Structure 1
Amino acid sequence: MRRRAALILAGLALPAAARAQGSAPRPRGELWFDPTQLPSFTGTVERYLPNPRGETDALIFREGPQIVFPPDVADAVRQAAPAGRPLVVWGIRARNAPVITMLAFAPASDQPPTVVDRLYWRLGGRLPQERATQLTVSGTVKQPYYAPQGEVAGAILEDGTVVLVPQGTAEGVKDLLKAGATLTAEGMGQAGEGGRALLAGALGESPEALKPIAPPR
């Protein structure tokens, strides 16, 4: 299944010569395929989400779904739809979770779409870098944070803080990542104007209950 998905995504990618020109969004007319033939999803932007590198690479619709996109198009997406405004997204929805990998976007369906010319569907690109700092965050879980393929990969708190967990460990801490759970997390990440995000090394219901996350079996 994963190999098939990879082949589908690769088939939608632009030719190498086009990718070499950079990864800025492209007008529809420059592409060899019509992005509006892809499934479309419309919602109101509730907030933009950071990752532990300090980049913006996702948003959540007020209606619930999570949208992921490359951080280098974040400014263009935000300009098209600031928080509180509607956005139309063309892309690929995970089979078992409300998460969509963006391939094109527009402020409205009657406006020409802008196309994302590289796919952003590997969770590893969100991991903290050397300049990350130690953070401790607490709050109530708004909803799980999903990998583009649909697996639970962490949690989004009510204030927009993103808590990722190491790959393969979510099952062991799933009760702490559910909507409505009280969560404290400690790990490396970034905090700035775009919000807070970290890769957790320890989780608990409170600062006093923090426990290291067990490695995947």
Structure 2
Amino acid sequence: MHWIDPDSLPEVAGILERFVLNPHGEVDGFVMKAKQSAVLVHTPPHMDRELTRHVSPGDKISVRGVRPRGAKLLAAVSVTTAGGREIIDEGPDHDREHPKVKHEPMSVQDRVELSLFGPKGELRGALLSDGTVLRIGPREAGHFAALLARGAKVAARGDGLQTKHGRVIHAREIGPDPERLKPLKKPKPKDRKPKHGHDEDAHAA
């Protein structure tokens, strides 16, 4: 159960526009339209089943949550449907595991619609204009923040999934266009050959 009482938090109402996916294909947030502006809402993956069972794009909803510093994000503690059903973050089951899915190589080239953040405000990727969710680890994302900003042109290659809620790509390479992709993680240096030492001298003796 979340340690914050939802009733103590301000309520933001709007229309759910689309779900946001994590690299495992689970819903871990959504975009809703509130007062003519898009609001990014983060929800923990263990709320996936309840959310997708009771709300759909186009539904009126309200969210109670907290806003981390330095990010345009609402980290939800509870989501209430138009019918009054309250979906509360009760915390994950101890034995909960990510779903087993098969990723495929995928690539994308598009414009950034929204930057995506984790619950503490850490940059985690971008939602692109075609609806693709581009995911990047928070350590790597900081180095490519300009490419993940709203309006930026970005291209990426990585491991992808196509689900009923949309497409998600966990990027392995990223750049401003397909011709200038850079790997997100530097390759590990190859093992160096041992320097000449006593062992080699002993074999030579």
Is TM-score (shorter-chain normalized) higher than 0.5? yes
Q: CA deviation at 1:90?
A: 1.4
Of 109, 115, 118, 2:88 maps to 115
Greater Rg by CA: 2
Query: Does the Cα contact within 8 Å between 1:141 and 1:179 map onto a contact in 2?
Result: yes
Number of the residue aligned with 1:122: none
Q: CA deviation at 1:77?
A: 2.4
Number of the residue aligned with 1:11: 3
Number of the residue aligned with 1:189: 160
Of 21, 24, 33, 1:50 maps to 21
Alignment of 1:77-92 (within 5 A): 77-92=51-66
Higher relative contact order (CA 8 A, sep 6+): 1
- Give per-residue Cα distances to partners, 1:66-120, cap 9 Å, x unaligned: 1122334334324543212221111222122122222211124x9353322017x
Alignment of 1:56-205 (within 5 A): 56-62=27-33, 63-108=37-82, 111=84, 113-118=86-91, 131-205=102-176
For structure 1, the residue ranges without an aligned partner over 5 or more in a row are 1-8, 13-33, 120-124
- Give per-residue Cα distances to partners, 1:122-150, cap 9 Å, x unaligned: xxx98x97732221112110011111111
Query: Does the Cα contact within 8 Å between 1:80 and 1:87 map onto a contact in 2?
Result: no
For structure 2, the residue ranges without an aligned partner over 5 or more in a row are 187-205
Q: CA deviation at 1:214?
A: 5.0
Query: Does the Cα contact within 8 Å between 2:2 and 2:77 map onto a contact in 1?
Result: no
In 2: Cα distance, 1:181 partner to 1:129 partner: 33
RMSD: 2.6
Report the TM-score, using the length of structure 1 for normalisation. 0.71
Report the TM-score, using the length of structure 2 for normalisation. 0.75
Query: Does the Cα contact within 8 Å between 1:142 and 1:158 map onto a contact in 2?
Result: yes
In 1: Cα distance, 2:72 partner to 2:13 partner: 13
